[in-house]
Amino acid sequence: MDEIRFGKYNGTGNDFVLIEDVDDRLSLSPSLIAAICDRHTGVGADGLIRVAPADDADFFMDYSNADGEVAEMCGNGIRCLAKLVYERGLTTSDVIEVQTLAGRKRLVLDAEDGRVRSVTVDMGAPSLARADIGLAGDPGASFVGERMEALGRSYEATAVSMGNPHCVLFLDPGDDLGAFDVRPVGSHIEHLPAFANRTNVEFVVVEDGRIRLRVWERGSGETMACGTGACAALVASSLTGRCGREAEVEFPGGVLRVGWREDDHVFLTGPAVHVFDGELTEDWMRSVLAGAAR
């Protein structure tokens, strides 16, 4: 087992370990990925991205959440991938195509002097069909503006797929978003049997057309931001008359810009930050895998 080089990146505080594997040599087990993402004994991250080759795109984003489980898509992570491949010289184009488990995504890079300042991602069209969300019930029906009970409280909820499942909860006007305890509610809804593949959960307040939210990510817990969650929150807020089809979305980690265009595609714009590079040692990886095997 050789040492593995990695980069640490974040998009609006949502942080990732990125590993360049354009020769497609690496096979990372869920237990190793979880160990790398551990914030006490590993590098620490909300998820891990292996930058791999693709047959019909420039790159493939092989993404796993912090628990090691493979996930379909990550809007903040894909912007970090764009920064890595451009700044490392793996591409010279400011428009790239990235294959994901949620389909191919087109990214436009705002770059200057060899550095990427922000990235706009065509996230594709949202789906409201229960079948696409993995939500129990009539496969073709939607779940928009419905009541959802969780831990003794009722919420207005809308379920949206952005290639991965989201359950958007609208808090009451008097709720303090910053003080709201998202952990018990988020974990409860994530694991409801009605969601076949579990779900991400957004806690949303809309004020004067600006969306403020916190997010509980499936497999990672609360994170500083979520790109697909920002898109799901904009779609849900627009559908329920709380805002138009374009808004700034404010997370604890920063602000993203989201637009739901007339062609039904959602576009996400935000920064990507390179924090540091490092190396996973052979001894550390062997000890992690030996511990997982016991």
**Section 156-171 average pLDDT:** 98
- Whether residue 198 has pLDDT greater than 90: yes
Catalytic positions: 74, 226
Encode pLDDT of 109-119 as tens digits: 999 999 999 99
Nearest by Cα to 204 from 191, 218, 188, 185: 185
pLDDT value of residue 293: 66
| Main-chain phi, psi angles of 136, to 5 degrees | -60, 155
CA distance 27 to 241: 46
> What pTM was computed for the model?
0.93
Confidence of residue 291 (pLDDT cuts 50, 70, 90): confident
**Section 229-252 average pLDDT:** 98
pLDDT value of residue 135: 98
**Section 239-252 average pLDDT:** 98
- Whether residue 270 has pLDDT greater than 70: yes
**Section 220-247 average pLDDT:** 98
Q: What are the tokens at 77?
A: 């992570």
pLDDT value of residue 294: 67
Q: What are the tokens at 59?
A: 């790159």
pLDDT value of residue 1: 65
Place of tokens 């390179």: 274
Where do the domains of the chain lie, and which CATH numbers do they carry? 4-123+272-293 (3.10.310.10), 130-264 (3.10.310.10)
Confidence of residue 290 (pLDDT cuts 50, 70, 90): confident
What's the whole-number average pLDDT of the chain? 96
- Say if residues 279 and 3 touch (Cβ distance below 8 Å): yes
Q: Which amino acid is at 261?
A: R
Radius of gyration of the chain measured on its C-alpha atoms: 19
Q: For 220, which DSSP code? A: T
**Section 182-206 average pLDDT:** 98
CA distance 279 to 276: 10
pLDDT value of residue 174: 81
- Say if residues 9 and 3 touch (Cβ distance below 8 Å): no
Encode pLDDT of 28-65 as tens digits: 999 999 999 999 999 999 999 999 999 999 999 999 99
DSSP 3-29: -EEEEEEEETTEEEEEEE-TT------
Confidence of residue 173 (pLDDT cuts 50, 70, 90): confident
Q: How many residues does the chain have?
A: 294
Encode pLDDT of 79-111 as tens digits: 999 999 999 999 999 999 999 999 999 999 999
Q: Which amino acid is at 291?
A: G
Q: What are the tokens at 211?
A: 């969306």
Q: How many CB atoms lie within 10 A of CB 267?
A: 18
Confidence of residue 70 (pLDDT cuts 50, 70, 90): very high
